[in-house]
Chain A
Amino acid sequence: MTVFDRLEAVFPPDRVITDPVRLRTYECDGLTYHRATPMVVVLPETAEEVAAVVRACAEFGVPFVARGSGTGLSGGALPRSDGVLIVTSRMRRILSVDLDRRQAVVEPGVTNLAITEAVRDRGYYYAPDPSSQQICSIGGNVAENSGGAHCLKYGFTVNHVQALEIVTPDGEIVEISEDDFGYDLLGAFVGSEGTLGIATKITVRLMRAPESVTTLLAAFETIEAGGQAVSSIVGAGILPAAIEMMDALAIEAAEAAVACGYPADAGAVLIVELDGPAPEVESQLAEVIAICVATGSFEQRVAASADERAKIWKGRKSAFAAVGRISPAYIVQDGVVPRTCLGEVLAGIDALQDEFGIRVANVFHAGDGNLHPLVLFDDTAPGEGERAEVVSGRILDLCILHGGSITGEHGVGVDKARYMPRMFTDADLDTMQRVRCAFDPGGRSNPGKVFPTPRLCGEVPRVRKGSPGEIF
């Protein structure tokens, strides 16, 4: 008896993939330089099926990895060659929409955007909006605690998930909810990158669409001036839905890809989106424009219609993929710094470019200090790939040095596990490991991700009989 026999007993043949050519198409997620062919792929359609696979894995001591749409950028869904890959792409039903409760209940394979599409007509939407929203799965969002441009005002996935049904690593189906009294297990599970079990049903909060949305594009001569504008806007007590910034190189790439028509000669552009009740948006817009002018912006454009808004966003949204047009290869980095350190960190990145002769394009969620430096290199030029790797790592060091984080939204996955000890002490990591051991004592759920070295859990320590005695 093997795990294959067990799976074949549970699933029809077309939902267990064993053909090597097919298996290989699952070898990586959006981060393509980590690859491993899974031992077997299963495509469950219900929570019970997921639980059955997970129990089979427990029985045979086989690791498993969950995968949604495979758009992760940290290798979180990298398969195990000795393990089962559990793909949720066929669990894509929207189970219920309840506007009185302002909730939707969905299966994990439903795409982020599909939720909004299901309720948009009725004036509601699901707020977290990763740039990959058209395809990334809500299960993947939960695992990564994904964010998006509009998270500045509205928060991340964790702030919008109200309950989960999960399959624990021993194959039990359990519900965790924000309404539960006691530990915030829901908060701990969201962002755990598939290491605490598999989410099989997700209850999300739906929000009322804002009355008014306005988007402003402001051009600056230098990125420092743009950074100053960001600080001043926030300092003035305005909380825009989004504040995004792009530097000259990123603008060049976007221009090449989608001809977004941003002001020529801009050293940086800022995209500020304000939303909410119309009178509130109007007064804030005037203030934001004044601030931009005061900090040296030489051109401001306000989008009046949905079309014009889409045009402004087009350049920003295409920036990642667009960089492919100005460079043969690139690394998408994801780091966070306190907003007030943006200037210093950008100067540091500049210095790295000069030191290593590697170009870096900067695209970022300026409002919350989340940088996405795109480290450009030519993969055919000897040594350039390695130098780009070094620059990419040094950027993370800069983030840590300024009290920031090694990842703001893409997750640690397999890619950044080695950086974890730079941000956390052994004691910190051991403490996180206790959570892991509580959920997954066998270490079978997505092993090798998030934490740098595999740690064993051991038995639950036996209760030590205390003697609150007469010692004192």
Chain B
Amino acid sequence: MLGHTRVTIRDGGPADAVGGVVPRWVALPESVEEISVVLGACADAGLAVTPAGARTKLGWAAPPERVDVLLDLSAMHEVLEHVAGDLVVRVQAGIPLARLAEVLAGAGQELALDVPFPEATIGGTLAAPSPGPRAYRYGNARDLLIGVTVVLADGTIARAGGKVVKNVAGYDLGKLFTGSYGTLGVIAEATFRLHPLPADRRWLTFECEGWEDAGALLRSQLEPSAVEIDHPAEGLSMVAALFEGSAARDRAEAAREVLGGGELRADPPSWWGRPPGSPLASLRCRVAPHVPEGVSVRGSLATGVYLASGATDLDAWRSRLPGDARLVGLAGEFTGDRWGPIPSLPLTRRVKERFDPDRRMSPGRLAGGV
């Protein structure tokens, strides 16, 4: 059935499992057209498909109800176009972030996303975003994305956006697909706006007991690119702030004045931008959150986006958070409701119905069986 597509197909095995579900086949397309052919064939045969990048987060979100074909994008790893003068790059979705970073560094530029797992791909980063430290300054993946090519469940190839940094023509499909966890279609290519590499980077770290201590930094005009906290299950927390620019050092020093202490360094602390452990939950809370005993939390004091590890009873924790906070179980075993309330779920469902009426794209990975 997939043989006629001429796309590389192999049998799936336990190493290809998605949240414990082993696919029958793994397809390795090499172009947008090949993705389309595979998806078209899967549509004809009613096969369920899960796209995959470097598989660093394939186990995040709920396990899919079924997977017949794992669509592995690792063969699509090219930089298609890098116009340094425009600070724009167009890539295939399977390119690892680290490889892209190397290419861009050659021109003194970067895609301002933090890379927790160097092998993670662009497609995976868009489909399963989890903002890193510098999201405070540069935004999330969705904020840097200016154009996409996606392939829908029925094989339709669609583009949105473009290769200019400013563009409001038509709906922004790229944004819609960020956070889709492979349930809407396949991200095949993406275009990003880039930033010049900063002249210098300095970190200021300091230990503290409360979360409020870093507030002065956020109220200052020193423009940190990131303000992160590492709140371990036991012991003192550490806050680290990053300053970027030619005067990074002066600003970091000024920040030390503001805080009345701290250590200046040229490299980040070891925990910077790494998940705190497992099981892993995503926490969004814009004020200092209540953290239960035995739970470690890392993330951005500036944006209120954290990863937490050690909490298994999500309902209990949720009940002690402010109303606008969100706590979602990402990876691992949890008791209680994995998703928590999602007011927009009915709309999400309706979008899913229009894009994937047969429920063949990673069905059941998101809340409400989407």
Q: Do A and B bind each other?
A: yes
Query: Which A residues are closer than 8 A to B by beta carbons?
Result: 100-103, 123, 144-145, 147, 151, 155-156, 158-159, 163, 168, 172, 174-177, 179-188, 190-192, 208-211, 231, 234-239, 276-277, 279-280, 283-284, 336-340, 365, 368-370, 403-412, 416, 420, 423-425, 427-432, 434-439, 450, 460-469, 471-472
CB distance from A454 to the nearest CB of B (A): 16
Q: In the complex the two chains form, is A403's CB within 8 Å of B163's CB?
A: yes
Contact A416-B169, Cβ < 8 Å, known A279-B247, A435-B351: yes
CA distance A176 to B342 in the complex (A): 9
CB distance from A207 to the nearest CB of B (A): 10
Q: Specify which chain B residues have a CB less than 8 angstroms from the CB of A404 in the assembled complex.
A: 162, 164, 167
- CB closest chain-A residue, reference B145: A187
Q: In the complex the two chains form, is A468's CB within 8 Å of B247's CB?
A: no
- CB closest chain-B residue, reference A338: B86
Q: In the complex the two chains form, is B85's CB within 8 Å of A339's CB?
A: yes
CA distance A209 to B198 in the complex (A): 21
B354 contacts the other chain (CB 8 A): yes
CA distance A423 to B143 in the complex (A): 22
- CB closest chain-A residue, reference B66: A468
Q: In the complex the two chains form, is B287's CB within 8 Å of A101's CB?
A: yes
Q: List 8 interface pairs A-B (beta carbons < 8 Å), by A numbering.
A: A101-B287, A277-B251, A277-B254, A283-B246, A369-B164, A370-B166, A408-B164, A450-B170
Q: In the complex the two chains form, is A471's CB within 8 Å of B1's CB?
A: yes
CB distance from B128 to the nearest CB of A (A): 10
Q: Specify which chain A residues have a CB less than 8 angstroms from the CB of B180 in the assembled complex.
A: 182-183
- CB closest chain-B residue, reference A181: B328
B201 contacts the other chain (CB 8 A): no
Choose from A208, A235, A431 the contact partner of B173 (Cβ within 8 Å): A431
How many B residues touch A, CB cutoff 8 Å?
94
B84 contacts the other chain (CB 8 A): yes
CB distance from B191 to the nearest CB of A (A): 10
Choose from B68, B163, B169, B284 the contact partner of A420 (Cβ within 8 Å): B169
CB distance from A377 to the nearest CB of B (A): 25
Q: Specify which chain B residues have a CB less than 8 angstroms from the CB of A370 in the assembled complex.
A: 166
CA distance A174 to B348 in the complex (A): 11
Contact A427-B347, Cβ < 8 Å, known A155-B143, A182-B181: no
- CB closest chain-B residue, reference A404: B164
B115 contacts the other chain (CB 8 A): no
CA distance A437 to B178 in the complex (A): 19
Q: Specify which chain A residues have a CB less than 8 angstroms from the CB of B68 in the assembled complex.
A: 468
Q: In the complex the two chains form, is B171's CB within 8 Å of A432's CB?
A: yes
Query: Which B residues are closer than 8 A to A by beta carbons?
Result: 1-3, 24-25, 45-48, 66, 68, 83-88, 108, 139, 142-143, 150, 152, 156-160, 162-173, 175-181, 184, 195-199, 215, 218-223, 245-247, 250-251, 254, 282, 284, 286-287, 304, 324-326, 328, 339, 342-344, 346-348, 350-351, 353-355, 357-360, 366-367, 370
Which residue, of A155, A158, A181, has the highest number of chain B Cβ atoms within 10 A?
A: A181
Known A-B contacts: A100-B215, A172-B346, A464-B357. Give 16 more (CB < 8 A).
Answer: A144-B168, A158-B175, A179-B326, A181-B328, A183-B180, A184-B178, A208-B220, A403-B163, A405-B166, A409-B166, A412-B169, A423-B169, A428-B160, A432-B171, A439-B350, A472-B1
Choose from B152, B247, B354 the contact partner of A438 (Cβ within 8 Å): B354
Q: Specify which chain A residues have a CB less than 8 angstroms from the CB of B351 in the assembled complex.
A: 183, 185, 434-435, 438
Q: In the complex the two chains form, is A420's CB within 8 Å of B342's CB?
A: no
CB distance from B149 to the nearest CB of A (A): 9
Q: In the complex the two chains form, is A408's CB within 8 Å of B247's CB?
A: no
Q: In the complex the two chains form, is A425's CB within 8 Å of B159's CB?
A: yes
Q: In the complex the two chains form, is B171's CB within 8 Å of A239's CB?
A: no
Could you tell me the dominant secondary structure of chain A's interface residues? loop
CA distance A238 to B87 in the complex (A): 12
Q: Specify which chain A residues have a CB less than 8 angstroms from the CB of B143 in the assembled complex.
A: 155, 158-159
Q: In the complex the two chains form, is B166's CB within 8 Å of A427's CB?
A: no
CB distance from A469 to the nearest CB of B (A): 8
Q: In the complex the two chains form, is A231's CB within 8 Å of B45's CB?
A: no
CA distance A431 to B46 in the complex (A): 21
Q: In the complex the two chains form, is B170's CB within 8 Å of A432's CB?
A: yes
CA distance A183 to B127 in the complex (A): 9
Q: In the complex the two chains form, is B344's CB within 8 Å of A340's CB?
A: no
Contact A182-B366, Cβ < 8 Å, known A235-B85, A237-B199: yes
Interchain Cβ contacts within 8 Å, total number: 284
Q: In the complex the two chains form, is B86's CB within 8 Å of A279's CB?
A: no
Q: Specify which chain B residues have a CB less than 8 angstroms from the CB of A460 in the assembled complex.
A: 350, 353-354, 357
CB distance from B61 to the nearest CB of A (A): 8
Q: In the complex the two chains form, is A368's CB within 8 Å of B166's CB?
A: yes
CB distance from B135 to the nearest CB of A (A): 11
Q: Specify which chain A residues have a CB less than 8 angstroms from the CB of B178 in the assembled complex.
A: 183-184, 187
Q: In the complex the two chains form, is A103's CB within 8 Å of B286's CB?
A: yes
Q: In the complex the two chains form, is A468's CB within 8 Å of B48's CB?
A: yes
Choose from B196, B339, B360 the contact partner of A238 (Cβ within 8 Å): B196
CA distance A274 to B47 in the complex (A): 54
Choose from B172, B246, B360 the contact partner of A187 (Cβ within 8 Å): B172
Q: Specify which chain A residues have a CB less than 8 angstroms from the CB of B286 in the assembled complex.
A: 100-103
CA distance A313 to B242 in the complex (A): 33
Q: In the complex the two chains form, is A174's CB within 8 Å of B85's CB?
A: no
Choose from A100, A210, A277, A427 the contact partner of B247 (Cβ within 8 Å): A277
Q: In the complex the two chains form, is B85's CB within 8 Å of A231's CB?
A: yes
CA distance A185 to B355 in the complex (A): 14
CA distance A235 to B109 in the complex (A): 10
Choose from A155, A183, A424, A469 the contact partner of B184 (Cβ within 8 Å): A183
Choose from B47, B179, B254, B326 the contact partner of A466 (Cβ within 8 Å): B47
Q: In the complex the two chains form, is B3's CB within 8 Å of A472's CB?
A: yes
CA distance A236 to B108 in the complex (A): 9
- CB closest chain-A residue, reference B254: A277
Choose from A187, A235, A411, A462 the contact partner of B175 (Cβ within 8 Å): A187
Which residue, of A155, A172, A175, A192, has the highest number of chain B Cβ atoms within 10 A?
A: A155
Contact A185-B357, Cβ < 8 Å, known A180-B326, A464-B46: no
Q: In the complex the two chains form, is A210's CB within 8 Å of B1's CB?
A: no
Q: In the complex the two chains form, is A100's CB within 8 Å of B357's CB?
A: no
CB distance from A284 to the nearest CB of B (A): 8
CB distance from B69 to the nearest CB of A (A): 9
CA distance A465 to B47 in the complex (A): 10
Q: In the complex the two chains form, is B163's CB within 8 Å of A338's CB?
A: yes
- CB closest chain-A residue, reference B138: A155
Which residue, of B164, B199, B222, B354, has the highest number of chain A Cβ atoms within 10 A?
A: B164
Choose from A151, A188, A467 the contact partner of B171 (Cβ within 8 Å): A188
Q: Specify which chain B residues have a CB less than 8 angstroms from the CB of A163 in the assembled complex.
A: 324
Q: In the complex the two chains form, is B221's CB within 8 Å of A209's CB?
A: yes
CA distance A187 to B24 in the complex (A): 35
Q: Specify which chain B residues have a CB less than 8 angstroms from the CB of A168 in the assembled complex.
A: 347
Q: Specify which chain A residues have a CB less than 8 angstroms from the CB of B326 in the assembled complex.
A: 177, 179-181
Q: In the complex the two chains form, is B221's CB within 8 Å of A277's CB?
A: yes
Contact A158-B172, Cβ < 8 Å, known A277-B223, A408-B167, A435-B354: yes
| Shortest beta-carbon contacts, A-B, top 9 | A466-B46, A187-B175, A237-B196, A211-B221, A431-B158, A279-B247, A405-B167, A461-B357, A340-B85
